[in-house]
């Protein structure tokens, strides 16, 4: 029984990690309606920047989250403005190819600059653990879970209580109707992409003390994030959070009770079944047409 409790707690904490990444992708996928295949590579670049700030300037990874959030918001806004926005009226396949091209460019740039070696940093306390009854947890995992809850709650309040948040929700529901009501849709898209990228910058600062960074690390996390977005429902922040917790639990339990190398098979199987049974996700409400 103690083992099961440990697995459940570990799975929920792992879900917090996935949630920070998945929420950012949900903002882009659910609002801008662009499948950003470069999301994982943005995470990888953020982890390398965190590594450099820690190694070169001695900045703690959690403190580096502040400049990374600002930098990645600007980077995401620039990607939307200069790469995606000119293609909004093009065939969706063109947009996909654009983000795949960006993904490939960033991955090869990292290989050119840093090589393929694994790089890691030593952050005090982050990897240390403590016990709560029969359960042992790591400080870094708890920090990621707390940040995930705060991030989703903050974005939820922003979406519900501010004019810009309501404009974003209106654009997500029906782009043409929002434009007719006076919403600057292009600006909303730029801000939404920037917010999604800023979440990636935050995730990078939280992940780097826990994981080694290498040029292809983003691929694993972004594939999991796509499952979370579909599971939770596009445009649903709390859906993405709950979807991340579900995937974290599936990852933890299947890795122990089935096999560590088959856990991805389990939740990608869930992903395929959900696409057939409920394409809008567990918490998705569907979308208005264009």
Residue range 211-250, pLDDT digits in tens: 999 999 998 888 888 888 888 877 788 888 999 999 999 9
Query: Average pLDDT of 272-285?
Result: 77
Kindly state the percentage of the chain with pLDDT values over 70: 97
Residue of 231 and 43 predicted with greater confidence: 43
Is a pLDDT exceeding 60 seen at residue 285?
no
- 112: which 2 tokens? 């050119």
Q: What per-residue confidence (pLDDT) applies to 93?
A: 83
Closest by Cα among 81, 80, 10, 76 to 43: 76
Residues 116, 110: Cα–Cα separation, whole Å: 8
Is a pLDDT exceeding 60 seen at residue 188?
yes
Where residue 1 falls among pLDDT bands split at 50, 70, 90? low
Q: What per-residue confidence (pLDDT) applies to 107?
A: 95
Q: Which residues pair with 138 in a beta bridge?
A: 129
Is a pLDDT exceeding 90 seen at residue 201?
yes
Q: What is the pLDDT of residues 168-180, one digit of tens each?
A: 999 988 889 999 8
The predicted model scores a pTM of: 0.92
Nearest 5°: the CA angle 139, 120, 211 is: 50
- Residue entry with tokens 């939770």: 232
Closest by Cα among 198, 239, 204 to 221: 204
Residues 14, 30: Cα–Cα separation, whole Å: 23
Residue of 206 and 89 predicted with greater confidence: 206
Query: Average pLDDT of 131-142?
Result: 87
Residues 22, 245: Cα–Cα separation, whole Å: 11
Closest by Cα among 280, 189, 194, 181 to 229: 280
Secondary structure of residue 137 in the 3-state scheme: strand
Residues 68, 205: Cα–Cα separation, whole Å: 8
Is a pLDDT exceeding 50 seen at residue 289?
no
Exposed e or buried b per residue across 84-107, where buried means at least 16 C-beta atoms within 10 angstroms of its C-beta: bbebbeeeeeebeebbeebbeebb
Q: Catalogue all structural domains in the chain, each as residue range(s) with its CATH number.
A: 2-118+126-277 (1.10.3470)
Q: Which residues contact 194 (CB under 8 A, 6 or more apart)?
A: 72, 73, 74, 76, 77, 80
Query: Average pLDDT of 256-261?
Result: 86
Q: What per-residue confidence (pLDDT) applies to 208?
A: 94
Q: How many CB atoms lie within 10 A of CB 172?
A: 21
- The overall average pLDDT reported for the chain is 89
Residue of 274 and 38 predicted with greater confidence: 38
Is a pLDDT exceeding 90 seen at residue 63?
yes
Q: What per-residue confidence (pLDDT) applies to 118?
A: 93
Kindly state the percentage of the chain with pLDDT values over 90: 60
Closest by Cα among 35, 267, 78 to 190: 78
Residues 219, 161: Cα–Cα separation, whole Å: 35
Query: Average pLDDT of 53-59?
Result: 90
Secondary structure of residue 131 in the 3-state scheme: strand
Is a pLDDT exceeding 50 seen at residue 185?
yes
Is a pLDDT exceeding 60 seen at residue 35?
yes
Is a pLDDT exceeding 90 seen at residue 204?
yes
């Amino acid at each position: 029984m103690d083992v099961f409790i440990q697995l459940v707690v570990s799975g929920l904490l792992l879900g917090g990690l996935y949630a920070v990444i998945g929420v950012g992708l949900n903002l882009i996928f659910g609002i801008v309606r662009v499948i950003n295949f470069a999301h994982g590579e943005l995470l990888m670049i953020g982890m390398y920047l965190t590594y450099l700030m820690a190694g070169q300037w001695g900045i703690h990874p959690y403190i580096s989250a502040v400049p990374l959030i600002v930098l990645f918001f600007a980077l995401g806004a620039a990607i939307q403005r200069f790469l995606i926005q000119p293609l909004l009226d093009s065939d969706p396949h063109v947009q996909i190819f654009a983000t795949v091209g960006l993904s490939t460019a960033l991955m090869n740039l990292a290989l050119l600059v840093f090589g393929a070696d694994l790089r890691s940093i030593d952050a005090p306390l982050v990897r240390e653990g403590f016990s709560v009854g029969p359960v042992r947890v790591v400080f870094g995992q708890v920090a990621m879970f707390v940040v995930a809850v705060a991030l989703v709650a903050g974005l939820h309040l922003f979406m519900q209580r501010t004019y810009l948040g309501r404009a974003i929700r209106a654009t997500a529901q029906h782009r043409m109707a929002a434009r007719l009501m006076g919403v600057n849709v292009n600006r909303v898209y730029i801000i939404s992409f920037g917010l999604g990228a800023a979440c990636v910058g935050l995730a990078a600062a939280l992940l780097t003390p826990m994981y080694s960074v290498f040029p292809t690390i983003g691929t694993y996390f972004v594939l999991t994030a796509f499952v979370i977005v579909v599971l939770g429902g596009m445009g649903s922040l709390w859906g993405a959070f709950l979807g991340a917790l579900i995937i974290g639990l599936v990852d933890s339990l299947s890795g122990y009770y089935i096999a560590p190398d088959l856990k991805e098979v389990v939740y990608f199987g869930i992903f395929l079944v959900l696409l057939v049974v409920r394409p809008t996700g567990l918490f998705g409400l569907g979308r208005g047409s264009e």
